[in-house]
Amino acid sequence: MFVASSGRCPSVQLLLLYAGCFLLGILPFDAPRHAAVAPPVSFSFDFSDSSTFNPQDLRLQGNAKHGLDGKLVDLTCNSIASIQNCTGRMSYAHPVPFYDDATGVVASFATRFAFRVILPAQGSRVKKGDGMAFFLTGYNSAIPPDSDGGGLDLMNRGLGLAYGADRFVAVEFHTYNNSFDPQDSWDHVGIDLSSVKNRANGNVTSLPTFSLNGTMTASISFNGSTRRLVASLHFDDRPSVQPVEVSAQLPEPITALLPPDVEVGFSASTGKQVELHQILSWSFSSTEKRGRDSLMAGAGQRRFRYRDLVNATDNFSEKRKLGKGAFGAVYLGTSLKGQEGQVAIKKIFKGSLGGPNNFLDEIKTISKTKHKNLVSLEGWCCCSSGTWNLMCWCCQKQDHHKIFLVYELVPQGNLHDHLHKEDTVLPWHTRYKIVKGIGSALLYLHHECHPYILHRDIKPENILLDNDYNAKLADFGLSRIANHNNATVVTDAVGTRGYMDPQCMKAGKVRFNRSTDVYSFGIVLLEIACKCDKSREGVWNLYSNEVAEHMVEAAADERLGGNFDRAQMHRVLVLGLWCTLPDGTQRPSMQDAMRLLEHDNTPLPDLASPAGGSST
Ligand SMILES: *[C@@H]1O[C@H](CO)[C@@H](O)[C@H](O)[C@H]1NC(C)=O
Ligand SMILES: *[C@@H]1O[C@H](CO)[C@@H](O)[C@H](O)[C@H]1NC(C)=O
Ligand SMILES: *[C@@H]1O[C@H](CO)[C@@H](O)[C@H](O)[C@H]1NC(C)=O
Ligand SMILES: *[C@@H]1O[C@H](CO)[C@@H](O)[C@H](O)[C@H]1NC(C)=O
Ligand SMILES: *[C@@H]1O[C@H](CO)[C@@H](O)[C@H](O)[C@H]1NC(C)=O
Ligand SMILES: *[C@@H]1O[C@H](CO)[C@@H](O)[C@H](O)[C@H]1NC(C)=O
Ligand SMILES: *[C@@H]1O[C@H](CO)[C@@H](O)[C@H](O)[C@H]1NC(C)=O
Ligand SMILES: *[C@@H]1O[C@H](CO)[C@@H](O)[C@H](O)[C@H]1NC(C)=O
Ligand SMILES: *[C@@H]1O[C@H](CO)[C@@H](O)[C@H](O)[C@H]1NC(C)=O
């Protein structure tokens, strides 16, 4: 049932630093989630330069092939043998968001592509066909049967209308004069809605016969709020020919046209008449569906603008830096537009997050967690650092994006500083409150969240304190979006003590489960209760060799000057030892642990007995 992350385990040190929390259970790290919506997409492929695209991002079907030694993509046959009756498609291999089912909000997109039509030598009569199209159809669609010739590889020639999974929206560049096409010429550009025959709701513009010849560039944009689709075509080989444009407003309801996630690409066909259809380059970018924002808002999340974050942090200046963790540096944000009070803004290190497809899902998961002992996420920002700077076309290629998480500012800093500072000593009642606070946050993450969430990096630096010294656990949920195969993530972090379960990195494998979190919790308890120099082994020796009262006196932090509740101290020490038993199966669950902390009459386990540490 457990899905463990695994990877090389260079050293304990590294693992210690490998921060965050990881979701276990049914969902493996990068499995597609049923509820996931396709993220916005942005790419730019030049088919003459193989470094600009990854073949895995393209789906070729039918007769489509990388042609001319990989310099372009032939959509239909290009061979010495017959090139009649061919169909072929090239599409982007991943789903593209079209609208959000929950909110009905529609995405916008823009695409531009250079293509070439090569006509056969003409005899006394016109012989050429059939043409090609840019299409949107249901993701993972198949070429319909009998869609060669006039079907443009989009629909069965025998049908009037495509339906179900075959529905499409297309811009056709058609070079053949079928009975259902404009009769004044052979060439036309048109907008098709699930039919190449009936453009009742679409638009079609005739072009002089033989216009669609040679290299051309098309730009197509779709505005999700106005539902207006505009396609324009430039004749690159004949600058004297005026560009043409067609446009149409897609009809309501948009949900009747296509499913929420679509496949985008090109189709082409030949029939008895032939020609070549070649794609030379293709760029595409879709905006997020604004529905995401409203969904995020529903989850209590806000999306901040990059420029507001820059303003709030003095352009992320050093003097605003509050600290640095495994996933990023944290800055103090003041007067952040739209946000009351101060915030902590975490700038995620480049490359420290993987699975960008999951980024928003992960944010949603984190944001659904609400607990008084968890630091709350106020919002986020994801900006492209490339051409689309500041436009937040989230988040297709993580390398090209900056990701920020905006958290509530927890004013008193972290527990590590409070435990180890020279001048003041945290009194016992505060420490006990902190212990219960962390315990209750972990109980929530482990047993009340569905699916449950692991923290994976429990240590005093990640436990923040508010003005009333309530503990707030930070940095949870992040490793769900962390690239757990990338060991470089961990080298940036701080942390030197052994909070990591030694059992979880056996044989070079890292395996996290609830009991590894429990281990870290136990180490933190011992650190809260004991003298700074007291190791777990030291406390264990006291436990196994001394009577309880002696152990408490010998182990307790002497800076408390004996001012503590002995029964509580005893409980915390024994619980710390129980949580850190070498055998993970003998450790308590967080439910057991909280029972012990909240009910003074819960009997303490006898850890020294052979079955020591089993649940009481
Ligand atoms: C192409 O398809 C048409 C119609 O189905 C058929 O009449 C013709 O023989 C086919 N040509 C080839 C070369 O297969
Ligand atoms: C288009 O086809 C129709 C029917 O075959 C024909 O009458 C018409 O002349 C054709 N148009 C052109 C411009 O050839
Ligand atoms: C297509 O364009 C090429 C180059 O511009 C030209 O040589 C050729 O004659 C054209 N073909 C037709 C059928 O017009
Ligand atoms: C869509 O059209 C509206 C109204 O003209 C405009 O305000 C908005 O900026 C357009 N959106 C895009 C992505 O072009
Ligand atoms: C067809 O496209 C042209 C050019 O963009 C536009 O002027 C016209 O309004 C469109 N017709 C319809 C029915 O949308
Ligand atoms: C930046 O923040 C200050 C308040 O700290 C505000 O007065 C100013 O207008 C902001 N500038 C921009 C560009 O938002
Ligand atoms: C912020 O700092 C970066 C370099 O760190 C600089 O390139 C940029 O111009 C600065 N922006 C502003 C608004 O000062
Ligand atoms: C890990 O991330 C760093 C920084 O982004 C990157 O340079 C490196 O190639 C990555 N390593 C692996 C194995 O993915
Ligand atoms: C958790 O992992 C540890 C170390 O790999 C193992 O000893 C323990 O049995 C596991 N616990 C559960 C509940 O699977």
d(CA 541, CA 342): 46
Same domain, 433 and 462: yes
Of residues 30 and 176, more confidently modeled? 176
Q: Which residues contact 150 (CB under 8 A, 6 or more apart)?
A: 130, 157, 176, 178, 196, 269, 271
Same domain, 376 and 435: no
> Is the distance from the beta carbon of residue 225 to the nearest atom of ligand 4 less than 6 Å?
yes
Same domain, 226 and 338: no
Interaxial angle between packed helices 514-529 and 566-579, expressed in degrees from 0 to 180 and rounded to the nearest 10:
140
Question: Which pTM does this prediction carry?
Answer: 0.51
Query: Distance of CA 527 to CAs 223, 523, 534, Å?
Result: 57, 6, 8
Task: Decide which of 366, 381, 408 is a domain's last residue.
Answer: 408
> Is the distance from the beta carbon of residue 108 to the nearest atom of ligand 4 less than 6 Å?
yes
pLDDT score for 288 = 66
| Domain count along the chain | 3
**Where does ligand 9 bind, in terms of residues with CB under 6 Å?**
2, 503-504, 511, 513, 515-516, 584-585
**Residue range(s) defining the domain that contains residue 345:** 295-408
pLDDT score for 483 = 39
CA 102 to chain centre: 19
Query: Peptide bond preceding 356: is omega within 30 degrees of 0, i.e. cis?
Result: no
d(CA 472, CA 460): 11
CATH of the domain at 450: 1.10.510.10
Reading phi first (left if > 0) and then psi (alpha if -120 to 50, else beta), residue 227 is in left
Task: Decide which of 252, 287, 322 is a domain's last residue.
Answer: 287
Q: Which residue's CA is minimally distant from atom 3 of ligand 5?
A: 246
Same domain, 499 and 530: yes
Does 9 map to a domain? no
Within 10 angstroms of residue 242's Cβ, the number of other Cβ atoms is 9
Of residues 58 and 256, more confidently modeled? 58
Same domain, 327 and 271: no
pLDDT score for 145 = 93
* Tens digit of each residue's pLDDT (9 = 90 or more) over 382-415: 765 544 333 343 444 444 567 888 999 999 999 9
Q: Which residue's CA is minimally distant from atom 3 of ligand 3?
A: 214
Same domain, 351 and 431: no
Does 253 map to a domain? yes
- Whether the CB-CB separation of 13 and 452 falls below 8 Å is answered with no
Same domain, 275 and 149: yes
DSSP label at residue 99: B
> Is the distance from the beta carbon of residue 177 to the nearest atom of ligand 2 less than 6 Å?
yes
How many Cα atoms within 13 Å fall on the side-chain side of residue 155? 26
Kindly state the average pLDDT of the residues 14-41: 36
Residue 347 assigned as binding residue: yes
Does 479 map to a domain? yes
Query: Distance of CA 33 to CAs 29, 130, 483, Å?
Result: 10, 40, 17
Task: Decide which of 350, 384, 408 is a domain's last residue.
Answer: 408
- The reply to whether 457 belongs to the active site is yes
Of residues 373 and 159, more confidently modeled? 373
Query: Distance of CA 233 to CAs 64, 110, 288, 307, Å?
Result: 23, 14, 26, 36
Ligand 6 centroid, distance to 309 Cα (angstroms) = 10
Does 551 map to a domain? yes
Residue 34 has pLDDT above 50, yes or no: no
* Tens digit of each residue's pLDDT (9 = 90 or more) over 61-78: 999 999 877 889 999 999
Give which of 89, 47, 53 is closest to 71, Cα–Cα.
47
- Whether the CB-CB separation of 481 and 361 falls below 8 Å is answered with no
Of residues 16 and 201, more confidently modeled? 201
The DSSP element (H or E) to which 210 belongs, if any, is none
Atom in ligand 4 nearest the alpha carbon of residue 225: 1
> Is the distance from the beta carbon of residue 315 to the nearest atom of ligand 8 less than 6 Å?
no
